[in-house]
Structure 1
C-alpha cells in the first residue's frame, strides 16, 4: 500500500464519482479504478459499491474514510511546513533549569531553538531543584532540567547524562597541581559549598561523613556562578559540577573515594500533554548532549612535530 492509494481512495470517497475524482487527483479514470481495486485487494475488503455509473461507500469504506481524511490532512500540513522552510510554532515556552545546566547548556540550546522557531518566546529560569519540581507539578513550567525527584506520580524523569562533581581551584591553590584527590583529603580544607537547601549539598555532606572528612566550610552560597567567583577572589576551593568548571579561568581536580556523581535529566508533567515547543526544545537538548559526548569520545590528534 502506498500513500497515493489512500489519496485516490479519499478523493473517490468524497466525490463518489470516478470522473470528478480522477480530475481531482490528475489521473485517468481507468488508472483511478485500477488503483482502487489494488487497494481493495490489499486490504481484503470492498470499499465501494458500483452500480452502473453510481458509486457508494460500503460500511468498510465509510470507516476508512473517516480515519484517513484527518491523517492525510496532517501529512499535508507537515509537508507544507517543511517546504516553507519555517515552523509554525508560536507562543511562549517556559523552561526551568538548575544552575549548572543553565549557565552553559541553556544558552546554546535556546539559540538553536530560536533559529528553528523564531516565533516562540522562551522564558528560562535558573531555579533550585525543589522549586523546579513544584513548578513542573503545578504546570507553570513546560519542561525542566534538574535531578531525579523522589517518587512522584505527577513528575516524569528522563535521564540525560551523568556528571561528576569536581574541586574548582585557582592556579595558586595548594591542590592545583593534583589530578585527583580523595574526599578524605579534604579534611579541614577551606571550601565554599552550596547551602543546605540543595540536594547536592546534602549528598556532599553524606559523602564527607562516609569518607571521615570534616571540611572547613567557610562560605555557603546558593548559586554556582557566585561560588566560582568566590574561588577566583580567595584562596578557598569549591565543589561544583564538572560541566560548570571549564572556561571559567579556574582549574579543577577530580574527586574520588567516593566520586560524587549526579544525573541531570528532563522533568515532564506526567498528567499533561507535552507541548510541541517543549518536545522540540528537548530534542535539541538531546542532540547537543549527544554531539558533546561524541566529541569527548574521539581520540585527540597529536600535534605534528615542527620542522627544523
Structure 2
C-alpha cells in the first residue's frame, strides 16, 4: 500500500463519483479505478459498491475511511514539519476562528508563527462555527479553530482542549463573592448573552433548560469585547468561555455546575487537502498554546 492509494480512496469516498474524484487527484478515471482495485485486493475487502449509476461505500469502506483520513493527515503533517524551514517561504494562510479564540489563542499563535515565517501572510477571520465549516468546505479557509462540524463527511476535526463556560460578573456585582453556582440559581438573573447565531448561546439555553431556569436577557451581542465591557461597567452578568477572560482583571469568574456547560474546540480542515509546511507549523503552534496550563478546564474551588 502506498500513499497514493489512500489519497485516491479518500477522494472517491468523498465524491462517490469516479470522474470527479479522478479530476480531484489529477489522474485519469481508468487509473483511479485501477488503483482502487489494487487497494481492495491488498486489503482483501471491497471498499466500494459499484453500479452503472452510482458508487457507495461498503461497510468495510465506512470502517476504513476515518482511519485512512487520520493516518494520511498525520503523515502529511509529519512530512511538512520535517521539511526544512525556508526563509523564502511565502504565500498566504487563511485562518478561521470563533470569537473566543480570537482573544488570546490567535494573538499568541500569530506572534509565534510570524517569527518563524515572516514572509507568509496570515489572514484571520472571525465567524460563527456554522459559517466556518462552510468556508472550509469552500476552501475560503485553509484551517480553522472551531467546534465539531457534525456529520459533515468532508471535514476533519482534531480536538484541542476542553472548554468550560463560566459565569462572569463585575467586581461589585452581588454574586462577586461566589466561587461556584448551580445553573438553577441564575433563574431570573439579569444577563447579557451572545446572540442566537452562535453555538455558545444554544449551549447556554440548553444548560438553563436542563436546570429548569430562565434568565432575564437584557441584551444580546455578537461581540465578546462588547459583552465583557458591559459586564465590567454594569450590573449584568454573562456566560462565556473561560478562555475568553484569560488574564483579564476587573471580573469575577464563577464556576457553573448542575450542569457544567462544556465543549471541545478543535482544528477544522478539509479532508484530503494537502498540508504545506506553513499550515503544519501553525497547527503545531495552536496545539502548544491550547494545551498550556492556563487553557485547561477551570479548577473548582470547594
TM-score band w.r.t. shorter chain: 0.5 to 0.7
CA contact (8 A) 1:245 1:251 kept: no
Q: How many residues align?
A: 217
Q: How does 1:35-50 map to 2 (within 5 A)?
A: none
Q: Does 1:208 align with 2:219?
A: no
Shift of residue 292 of structure 1? Answer: 3.2
Give distance in 2, aligned partners of 1:103 and 1:90: 26
Q: Does 1:219 align with 2:203?
A: no
1:41 alignment counterpart:
none
1:22 alignment counterpart:
none
Decide whether aligned partners of structure 1 residues 124 and 294 sit closer, same or farther in structure 2, where only a CA change above 3 A counts: closer
Deviations 1:215-248 (A, max 9, x none): 0011111121111111112111010000112333
1:273 alignment counterpart:
274
Decide whether aligned partners of structure 1 residues 257 and 103 sit closer, same or farther in structure 2, where only a CA change above 3 A counts: same
For structure 1, which runs of at least 5 residues remain unmatched after alignment? 1-74, 298-308
CA contact (8 A) 2:165 2:240 kept: yes
Give distance in 1, aligned partners of 2:87 and 2:185: 54
Q: Does 1:106 align with 2:106?
A: yes
2:62 alignment counterpart:
none
Deviations 1:67-113 (A, max 9, x none): xxxxxxxx9xx78x46xxx5442100100110111111101101100
Q: How does 1:110-121 map to 2 (within 5 A)?
A: 110-121=110-121
CA contact (8 A) 2:188 2:216 kept: yes
Give distance in 2, aligned partners of 1:294 and 1:216: 30
TM-score, normalised via structure 2 length: 0.68
Deviations 1:130-170 (A, max 9, x none): 11111101001000000111101111110000011011111
Decide whether aligned partners of structure 1 residues 120 and 158 sit closer, same or farther in structure 2, where only a CA change above 3 A counts: same
CA contact (8 A) 2:160 2:291 kept: no
CA contact (8 A) 2:161 2:295 kept: no
1:192 alignment counterpart:
192
2:52 alignment counterpart:
none
2:172 alignment counterpart:
172
2:155 alignment counterpart:
155
Secondary structure (helix, strand or coil) at the match of 1:285 reads helix
Give distance in 2, aligned partners of 1:94 and 1:292: 27
TM-score, normalised via structure 1 length: 0.67
Secondary structure (helix, strand or coil) at the match of 1:96 reads strand
**Shift >4 Å, 4+ stretches:** 293-297
Structure with higher Rg: it is 1
1:52 alignment counterpart:
none
Q: Does 1:261 align with 2:262?
A: yes
CA contact (8 A) 1:268 1:274 kept: no
Give distance in 2, aligned partners of 1:203 and 1:153: 23
